[in-house]
Amino acid sequence: MKRVISAVFGVALLSVSFAANATIQSNGKVVGLLDGKNCSNQAASLPEKITRLKMELAHGDKVHTPEEMKILKGMLKEAENTMHELLEPGK
């Protein structure tokens, strides 16, 4: 029960911290994905966040520094783990 509650709480925090309408810079970076700047107040769902993170990671080192790639990979792993916990709460 504690794990389910913590997973739901985690999703709520992730949703609040991630905006669905982030802007794209001329170099292809999505502003707001890494720094939270210039984002609207509309929160994205967890599946939307996972999709956007995968899209950003697909840009690779053409757009992002190695440090940014590491942060994005960590964010994606955390979002996927949260999604997994929500879909399989009994484990």
Is the pLDDT assigned to residue 91 strictly greater than 60? Answer: yes
20-43 pLDDT, tens per residue?
445 555 556 665 666 555 555 556
* 80 vs 43: CA distance, rounded Å: 17
pLDDT at 21: 42
Alpha helices in the chain (DSSP H): 2-17, 46-59, 66-87
Residue 6 lies in domain:
2-87
Tokens of 35: 């720094």
pLDDT at 20: 41
Total residue count of the chain as it appears in this document: 91
pLDDT at 17: 47
* 86 vs 80: CA distance, rounded Å: 10
Let me know: does 14 contact 36? Beta carbons within 8 Å.
no
* Total domains in the fold of the chain: 1
